[in-house]
Chains A and B, each alone.
Chain A
Amino acid sequence: MAARMQQGGRPGGSRFAQFKLVLLGESAVGKVSLVLRFVKDQFDDYRESTIGAAFLTQTIALDESTTVKFEIWDTAGQERYKSLAPMYYRNANCAVVVYDITQASSLDKAKAWVKELQRQANENIIIALAGNKLDLVSADPTKRAIPAEDAAQYAREAGLLFFETSAKTADNVRELFTAIARKLPLDQAGPRSIRSAGHRPGVDLRPESSGTQGASGCNC
């Protein structure tokens, strides 16, 4: 779903915008962990593999008058899910492509995702590259498989935001999402988003849903 925004929809003329964000990257690089750090400020050393996709939301205040709600799609990383990928990233406003700085091959996979996004996804999609598991390298520099400078250079060339992150220690996680929010076209985002434009009538796209956390929304 594309950005939906209400100008002055809340007291004090504050702005509220909603964006779809998709996480991509090889299996086990830490996608789910980054999301859970961002949304719930939690980290587990062990958690179940993601099958298909999971959906969560998180709202952040950019400044006193601007609130951004991310609709976050976490995806399974395995190659065979690739045929579903267009379903994840259709109408995505932004993407976080994750690799693991201790696994050389994971950056290649990330580059492939970037390429696919730039070819197939929304024209104006904001893409951030996240080199995750920074804590492992801080603890033991020999574990680093991808020099930060290499990735940074690639990110510059490809026009991506770039952060090295740790879902475990929370390093740069909030920074990553905030930087994305700042880069999103808050001013152009309007209620006639791509999605609502083509949507069948009768469906009310309320910009603000009652629950903002993934776990809310149902009491059964």
Chain B
Amino acid sequence: MSQATRRHSLDTPPPTSNRRRRHSTSIIGSQDLPPPPPVKDTSPIQQHEFRSVRSSTNLSTYNSNNNNNSAQQPPVSSSPSITPAPATRTLPTASAPAEKPVPRDRYGFKKANQHITLSVYEAWAGSYISYVERRRAKWILLMKSYGLPTVNPERFPPKSDKVKRYVRKGIPPEWRGAAWFYFAGGPARLAQSRGAYWECVERARAGELSGVDRDDIERDLNRAFPDNVRFKPDAPGWDQREADDDGQPGETSIVRALRRVLQAFAVANPRIGYCQSLNFLAGLLLLFLDEDEEKAFIMLGIVTNEHLPGTHDRSLKNIDIGVLMSCIQESMPAVWVKIDDTQEYGSLPTVSLALTSWFMSCFVGSLPIETVLRVWDSFFYEGSKTLFRIALAIFKLAEPDIRRLSDPMEVFQVVQNAPRRLVDANALLEACFRRRNGFGHLSQETIDVRRRERARAFGAEKASRADLLGVGEESGAVVRSSSRGGGRFKRSLSRRRAKT
């Protein structure tokens, strides 16, 4: 926390009291105690833990309002619990009129959206809350059995079948970011590269960031999580500021943090630069890492270099989608028949276009947020095979619908829209990992072998396509010299390249 926070507060002065409070009391000691009885609204992602993701006063205010949906939210500036620093309160945000407060979950996301109605959400949330409490109680016992703290834990039990099971059933929301960081190998990376993040921030500022990447990032900052209150408050809030050399008017602190992380990442990863979807990954990481930019930066590197090598590169190859297609072909032939138009069109079926975001965004935007978080729990613990297994489970759940359809475009719509309604995270994970007809057997080894095959095929295909279409050569090498991990995959690729 130290360096990031210090640097951050240099960059982002005022809401000092809030900011400090966040770090000192953000977890409000709820882990060792049974949670307070739910207020009216028993949504699992509401309540006290809302603060654990961010305990700023305006959110608590927001939240208490939310517990009574009929109450109008008072203007933030008049709320007694808010003590905005002078510089932060003047904000003429174009889009922040006095709207009715929207029901939000504990992380600040709108509960309802175009795919999930409020009543569908609440019907699911009613029982999920007690599930989360039960899991938390188990986690507390687990942590204690390892002598680990249960307030603001930074370390977690060593990997084992039991811990893996616990992770699959969901990490307690207030520990989530720390657990992701820990299980993904963040601490070791941080120890090796301390300070590298802030160097990259400086390099980006000093002109190393390309104009294209800079523009693309700017365009995507407000398009990351417009339905999250910390990215887009309902009313001007304490952490929005006027324009200065560090950002645009009306931006919240997390949006500014997102800009720095994306710019630093683009500078540090020239083969990727800025790729749309990184806004989602970095934004969600920041949200759960308490805006610790350095950690978010490291995690972004782990996702893009280790777990999804090549997926975000400047020249997209869709290798992961190709691998997924081969898995579908094998395990769900009846689905494959419906989506396979490759004879007509070539290597990838049209439905691939609906799947790009599954891998690039790691399901952000494709699955409801709580489901995404549960997927990420397992993803950071087990690696990229989780994304493939979940993708297969989505197809499995949609299989009855897909089989009924005959128009390929209707099938496309099912594949595109079905996951967005999978609000029942447990049902998806259960379909994914169940013994019979589940996908827990799909190994990382299998995936990596197929990735290599696809990468090879891609090389050949690209060579011929480049002639046909005059597509610019963008050096298709998958090898990232700067990256670590996944070494076998990369080594064998570079060997192959050396040969050709």
Contact = CB atoms under 8 A, between A and B. Distances in A.
Contact of B353 (A80, A87, A205, A206): A87
Interface string B262-274: 0000000000000
Interface string A21-43: 00000011000000000000000
A157 B348 CA distance: 36
B95 A45 contact: yes
B70 interface: no
A80 B314 contact: yes
Given A51-B357, A53-B353, A88-B353, A78 B275 contact: yes
Contacts of B275: 78, 80
B362 to A, nearest CB: 11
B316 A80 contact: yes
A81 interface: yes
Interface stretch (B1-9, B24-32, B183-191, B219-227): B219-227
- The bracket for how many chain A residues form the interface is 35 or more
A71 B315 contact: no
B318 interface: yes
Contacts of B223: 28, 46-49
A84 B401 contact: no
A159 interface: no
Nearest to A86: B469
Interface stretch (B199-207, B289-297, B408-416, B480-488): B408-416
Contact of A51 (B114, B225, B361): B361
Given A51-B276, A218-B398, A90 B410 contact: no
A84 B318 contact: yes
A142 interface: no
B360 interface: yes
Nearest to A56: B413
A83 B316 CA distance: 7
A76 interface: yes
B350 interface: yes
A57 B401 CA distance: 19
Interface stretch (A60-68, A143-151, A169-177, A194-202): A194-202
Interface stretch (B48-56, B239-247, B324-332, B417-425): B417-425
Interface in B2-22: none
Contact of A84 (B216, B226, B232, B353): B353
Interface residues of B, number: 59
A116 B229 CA distance: 41
Interface in B411-455: 412-414, 416-418, 421-422
A27 B222 CA distance: 13
A133 to B, nearest CB: 13
A153 B476 CA distance: 39
A155 B226 CA distance: 35
A9 interface: no
B276 A220 contact: no
Nearest to B421: A220
Interface stretch (A123-131, A183-191, A209-217): A209-217
A215 B114 CA distance: 8
B397 A217 contact: no
A219 B417 CA distance: 9
A205 B417 CA distance: 21
Contacts of B220: 27-28, 49
B386 interface: no
B446 to A, nearest CB: 24
Contact of B357 (A46, A52, A217, A218): A52
A52 B223 CA distance: 15
B141 interface: no
Contact of B226 (A46, A209, A215): A46
A1 B410 CA distance: 12
Contacts of A88: 353
B406 A203 contact: yes
Interface string A60-102: 0000000000010100101111111011101000000000000
A157 to B, nearest CB: 23
A14 interface: no
Contact of B348 (A49, A71, A87): A87
A209 B407 contact: yes
B360 A28 contact: no
B410 A217 contact: yes
8 contacts: A28-B219, A49-B280, A79-B212, A198-B344, A200-B343, A205-B407, A217-B410, A218-B413
